[in-house]
Amino acid sequence: MSYNRQGGWSVWTTFGECSTTCDEGHQVVKRRCDNPLPGRDAAYCDGEDVQYVYCNLGGCPGSWSCWEDDGHCSTSCGNGTQLRRRRCNNPAPTNGGETCPGDILTKVHCNTKECPVYKWGHLKEFNLTQNDLKEIMEDEMNEMKKNLTIDSKNISAAIRKRISARDDRLSAASVGYVGVALLLIPLVMIIVVDAPRVFVVVATIYRKVCSRN
C-alpha cells in the first residue's frame, strides 16, 4: 500500500428527501473520499463532501376551496335548486402547475320542505279575470271580515301611549291661562281702587244729560 497515494471522490448520492414536493425544493447530496482512499501520508480529497441541490422544480398543482352558495334558491319551498361555486385557490397553482380537476359550479337541492296548501290554488289552471276571482271568493272574504277582531291593546294609539315618556312640563294652554291671569289681576286692582272716583264721574255725566232733557 502506498502511503502517498492521493485519495479520490466517490459519486454524489442523495441523502434524505427533497424539502418540498414541488416548486423548487432543496436536497442534500454527499460523496466520500474513498475512490480510492488516500494513503496515510497523503492529503484528504480536495473539495466539499456535502452539497445542497435543487429538486422538484415543477410547478405546484392547485387545490379547491370550499363550496359556497352562488345566488339564491330558485323557490321558497317545494324542492328548489341552487348553484354552488368553488375556486382553485387553496392554494392556486404555481409556476405552471396543474389546475384543479373537476367542475367550478354544481347544483344542489334547497328548500325541500313542502309548500303550504292554498285553497284556491287550483284556480291557476283557469283563465279567470280579477272580477271572476272576487266573485268566487266573495262569500268567504265576507265571513272572514265578520270574524276579524281588533285588539285595542295593539293599535297604534295604545302602543304610543305605552311607550311614550311622561311629560311633566306645562302645556301651552296652561301657560296661556297663567299669562292672562297675570294681566287681569293688575287691571282688576286698578278698577277696585278707583271705583269711587269712577262712580262720581259717571254720576256727574248722568246729571248733565238729564238736565238737558
- The domain limits of the chain are 1-58, 60-116, 118-148
Alpha carbon separation from 15 to 21, 22, 30, 143, 210 (Å, rounded) = 16, 18, 7, 91, 148
According to DSSP, the residues that pair with 15 across neighbouring strands are 28
In tens, the pLDDT along 127-145 reads 888 888 888 788 878 887 8
137 Cβ contact list (under 8 Å, min separation 6): 120
**Bridge partners for 83 per DSSP:** 70, 107
N-term to C-term CA, the chain: 180
pLDDT higher than threshold 70 for residue 195: no
Residue given cell 266573485 in the structure block:
135
For the stretch 51-62, pLDDT in tens is 999 988 788 999
Torsion sign over Cα 204, 205, 208, 209: negative
pLDDT at 88: 96
- Residue 28 has phi, psi (to 5 degrees) of -85, 135
pLDDT at 166: 59
Q: Which CATH number fits domain 1-58: 3.90.1150.10, 3.20.20.100, 2.20.100.10, 1.10.357.10?
A: 2.20.100.10
Confidence at residue 82, expressed as pLDDT on a 0 to 100 scale: 95
Cβ 6 vs Cβ 43: under 8 Å? yes
Rg (Cα) of the chain, in Å, rounded?
Answer: 53
Domains 1-58 and 60-116 agree in fold: yes
Buried/exposed 116-155: b ≥16 CB within 10 Å, e otherwise: eeeeeeeeeeeeeeeeeeeeeeeeeeeeeeeeeeeeeeee
Three-state DSSP state, 26:
strand
Q: What pTM did the predictor assign? A: 0.42
Architecture per CATH, 60-116: Single Sheet (2.20)
- Which secondary structure element, helix H or strand E, spans residue 146, and what is its range? helix 130-147
**Nearest CA-CA partner of 110 in 67, 151, 152, 150:** 67
Q: Which residues sit opposite 80 in a β-bridge?
A: 110
Give the separation between CA 18 and CA 27, rounded to whole angstroms. Answer: 5
Q: Tell me, what's the pLDDT at 153?
A: 66
Which segment, 2-6, 75-79, 173-177, is predicted with the most confidence on average? 75-79
pLDDT in tens, 109-122: 999 888 877 677 77
Query: 10 Å Cβ neighbour count for 64?
Result: 14
**Best mean pLDDT range from 10-14, 148-152, 159-163, 196-200:** 10-14
Give the pLDDT of residue 212. 63
* 27 contacts 52 by C-beta, under 8 angstroms: yes
Average pLDDT of the chain, as a whole number: 81
